[in-house]
Amino acid sequence: MITYENIRHEFAPVYDKNSRILILGTFPSVKSREQNFYYGHPQNRFWKVLAGLTGEPLPGTIGEKKAFLLRNRIALWDVIASCDITGSSDSSIRNVVPVDLSRVLAGGSIRQIFANGGTAKKLYEKYQRAATGREIIGLPSTSPANAACRLERLMEEWRVIVQYL
């Protein structure tokens, strides 16, 4: 039998008035929830991709990651405020309560919204597109569950974000 947990997103979005793009994930993984910050699984390629695209060193600590995002005018959050989920599996997500994106969109200079993976894109379109009036560009997931997508391909697909920074 599959056991679901109702979990609330516990950490804040990262953004400031200079943020030009917003990258939305689905919901924090177990590892991210343990670390209380985004993309905490060591096999997730999110930080490697962004470091490669910006030409910066790979950030290590949460403080370094926040500074990296803000320095590069990147806002980061997730689509879901709370949901029922099994482990880290996006495919198990049920009973979604979406985040209210208005504070990030009003507080930054967001030119474009991007989704880290197909599930984040679908959930944004279902729950937030009408409220924001903004299109989202879907990018391949950096998750280790998307192992078929090699780092080189991720870098190529994610390169589109650079033109908005």
Query: In angstroms, what is the C-alpha Rg of the chain?
Result: 15
What domains can you pick out in the chain, each with its CATH number? 5-164 (3.40.470.10)
pLDDT for residue 2 is more than 90:
no
**The predicted structure's pLDDT at residue 87:** 83
> Over 90: is that where the pLDDT of 76 sits?
yes
Non-local CB neighbours of 9 within 8 Å, separated by 6+ positions: 27, 28, 78, 80, 81, 82, 99
Is residue 145 predicted with pLDDT exceeding 90? Answer: no
Q: What is the pTM of this model?
A: 0.95
Segment holding 63, helix H or strand E: helix 62-71
Express each pLDDT in 10-62 by its tens digit.
Answer: 999 999 999 999 999 999 998 999 999 999 988 999 999 999 999 999 999 99
Q: What is the pLDDT of residue 144?
A: 82
Cβ neighbours of 162 (radius 10 Å): 11
Sorting pLDDT into bands at 50, 70 and 90, what band is 8? very high
DSSP assignment string, 73-140: TEEEEESEEEEEESTT-GGG-EEEEE--THHHHHHS---EEEEESHHHHHHHHHHTHHHH---EEEE-
Q: What is the 3-state secondary structure (H, E, C) of 30-58?
A: HHHHHHCCCCCCCCCCHHHHHHHHHCCCC
Q: Is the pLDDT of residue 88 over 90?
A: no
Q: What pLDDT, on a 0 to 100 scale, did the predictor assign at position 4?
A: 86
Distance CA 97, CA 127 (A): 9
CA dist 125 and 136 (Å) reads: 8
Q: What is the average pLDDT score of the chain?
A: 94
Q: According to the model, what pLDDT value does residue 90 have?
A: 81
